[in-house]
Structure 1
Amino acid sequence: MSNQRRNPQQERGEKRLSQLLEAAASVMADVGYEAATMTQIAELAQASIGTLYQYFPNKEALMNALRQQYIDEMKMRWAPFTATPSKLSIKQLVDRIFDIVLDYIEKRPAYFPLLGTPRGNQRDPSGRSWLREHFAALFREKLPEMTLEESFRVANVTVQVLKGMHPLYLETSPEEKQEIVAEFKLLLMSYLKARLKA
């Protein structure tokens, strides 16, 4: 039963899994997917390479698990927002999008790099496109006459704007971060005003 108390071995295993995923995220944020190695990840997690392979047979499986964790976390963050987009102005909509994304990438700097790599990865397509699907649904709620194809096109551009901001935001000084965000907000706001006929 789900309410059964976990035994110490289960708890140790869950703690070790969490440590491995955190180490993978840190390495991914530092060097990217291609340069990240299982050895680096194991060393950062203070685990043997054998322990890492007990949990994940290869780097792709490890990154898929991390990606799914991020998707699940983001779904929880977006859930309260999903019911309100039609009541928000474009500025409020953009502000909310940036608030959620910026808060998350401060905590999870590997989020956008992870979603985009590797190109040959045969990961679950529903996971790969979740953020685009979410934005497309928001935009159709805001403009019901928008077709599915149009909403996905606008969603794709929105995701690319956020992904484009990501490296600039992470690499710049704290003082400059606000200016970078303001520029990208202006960009997305102008675009959505035109596409959502606001």
Structure 2
Amino acid sequence: MTEIAARAGASIGSLYQFFPTKELLAEALHASNAEALETMLDGLAPRLAGKPAEALADVLFAEFSDFLSDHPAFVALADRRSIDPKRKKATRQKLRGQIVRLLTEAEPPVPRSRAQALAIVILHLLRVAVAIEGEPDLEGRGAVLDEIRLMLKQHLSGH
């Protein structure tokens, strides 16, 4: 908390006035990051509408990678055990819904029932990519990430 206050240019007392516990601060940061991710996904809809579903793989992996560079604490904050289960479920449902929208607006559109299953798979593939990215001594990390993206792209091209 001291380091956070120093980086914010505020006193520790001011920080505790707004966030009496570390958990409340983590919750606020997570909510802000989740909102930024939702905004990023909303911004993809006009860019991807009418494009083949497999285009989603390249764009989503690139944009998510950029998002994580800009929000490095996102995954750690999202994986906290103390996160409110209702909020966690609501966030996941919203993210899945946004991916469903991207898939159903592709050309040709992915049927909604299939898009719902694919949205879950895509979010988990992104989590796998994050885990691989975070493995510092992994040789060929870029090639592994390319394979995940290629697998998804090929799978989506055959829908």
- TM-score, normalization by structure 1: 0.63
Q: Which amino acid aligns with 2:91?
A: G
Report what 1:170 is aligned to.
Answer: 134
Q: Which amino acid aligns with 2:21?
A: N
Report what 1:93 is aligned to.
Answer: 56
1:137 aligns with 2:101: yes
Deviations 1:95-143 (A, max 9, x none): 1101110111122222223223326524534334332221122122232
Q: Distance in 2 between matches of 1:121 and 1:87?
A: 37
Structure 2 matches for 1:27-106, cutoff 5 A? 41-46=1-6, 50-106=13-69
Q: Distance in 2 between matches of 1:120 and 1:108?
A: 18
Number of residue pairs matched? 153
Unpaired stretches in structure 1, ≥5 consecutive residues: 1-40
1:115 aligns with 2:57: no
- Which structure's CA Rg is the greater one? 1
Whether the 8 Å contact between 1:169 and 1:180 is mirrored in structure 2 is no
Instruction: For residue 112 of structure 2, give the secondary structure of its aligned residue in structure 1.
Output: coil
Whether the 8 Å contact between 2:104 and 2:110 is mirrored in structure 1 is yes
- TM-score, normalization by structure 2: 0.76
Whether the 8 Å contact between 1:132 and 1:159 is mirrored in structure 2 is yes
Deviation at 1:84, TM superposition (A): 4.0
Whether the 8 Å contact between 1:63 and 1:114 is mirrored in structure 2 is yes
- CA RMSD across the alignment: 2.8
Report what 1:187 is aligned to.
Answer: 151
* Overall identity of the aligned pairs, in %: 24
Q: Which amino acid aligns with 2:155?
A: Y
Deviations 1:169-195 (A, max 9, x none): 13346984421320210232233334x
Instruction: For residue 151 of structure 1, give the secondary structure of its aligned residue in structure 2.
Output: helix
Q: Distance in 2 between matches of 1:185 and 1:154?
A: 14
> 1 or 2 for the larger relative contact order (CA 8 Å, sep ≥6)?
2
Q: Distance in 1 between matches of 2:138 and 2:90?
A: 35
Deviation at 1:82, TM superposition (A): 0.7
